[in-house]
Amino acid sequence: MSMESLQRRIKTTQDLRDIVSTMKSLSSVSILQYEQAGTALEQYLNNILDAFHALVKTDSFSPPPPRPKPKHIKTLAIVIGSDNGLVGKFNKEIVNKATEVIENDGEMLKDTLFLTIGKRAAVMAEQKGASLFAKYAISNSVKVVNSIAGTVIIRIEEAMRLHKVNRVLVFYHKRETGKPMRIEQIKLIPFPEKAYTHLSQKPWPTNNIPMVTIPAQEMLSTLMREYLMILLSSALTFSLAAEHHARMINMQNAEKNIDETLEQMNQEYQQKRQEAITEELIDVVSGSEAITIQKAKKKK
């Protein structure tokens, strides 16, 4: 390879390294943003659970009647993946986990409805033979997370009404500082009936139970919808943080490989340059010697 070609390759590789470094920095900043949002959502979820507790402790509250056990489980699996690449096995792992849970529960994959958030997860779910009920892109903006969660809740209600869905599962990645990334699974529906009993028996932390001024059933319906919204928003937020962490790790590895390649190319360039300089010096010395010999012959 000529020195000119090698210089062009070095320049292209340096430009690529700049792009990789920028993507790594963007992912690093995004992780902090999403983790802070996730922490805030978890704190708000605790407030919702406290409101449930207060409602259950009031005299006007009566728990919903026990639901008859369904003869057949009809599941809507909500799988949160990514729109963009450079995340390794992020989407493959989440789809594999969802299908594994469904099959282990004795359900047929073709009879289970899948709602995917993230274009790449949708493609992989279809490749698995899953029945795709709905698919959505995932936004990188924290401000849009609640909008996506609200849309998904509407589709959940539709699936329950039209397709007799009686179980809703959510699968997403979550990463905590100092711990490896893992796949979380939460059951949105049905709400566990034992939770009502637990809350009614759990003592309120103070002597005064908050007063509920609106009808208990109306309050319960509002809290349930807010509960679902927060769980979905949290899952989306933590998944986005995990996605950017996976991308950042891949960019770090790519940066390391590029640096090693650049070092090899620079060494090769320096070697070729030194060889070229040596050849030029040899030509100069050889030419000088030839001139000296010619001059000596003329003097004779």
pLDDT tens sequence across 154-191: 999 999 999 999 999 999 999 887 778 999 999 999 88
Residues of the chain short of pLDDT 50, as ranges, are none
pLDDT, position 1: 67
pLDDT, position 296: 67
pLDDT, position 298: 66
Judge residue 47's burial from the number of C-beta atoms within 10 Å of its C-beta, 0-12 exposed, 13-18 middle, 19 or more buried. exposed
CATH superfamily of 29-252: ATP synthase, F1 complex, gamma subunit (3.40.1380.10)
pLDDT, position 60: 77
pLDDT, position 286: 73
CB 133 within 8 A of CB 159: yes
Look at the pTM and tell me if it is higher than 0.75: yes
- Domain layout of the chain by residue ranges: 29-252
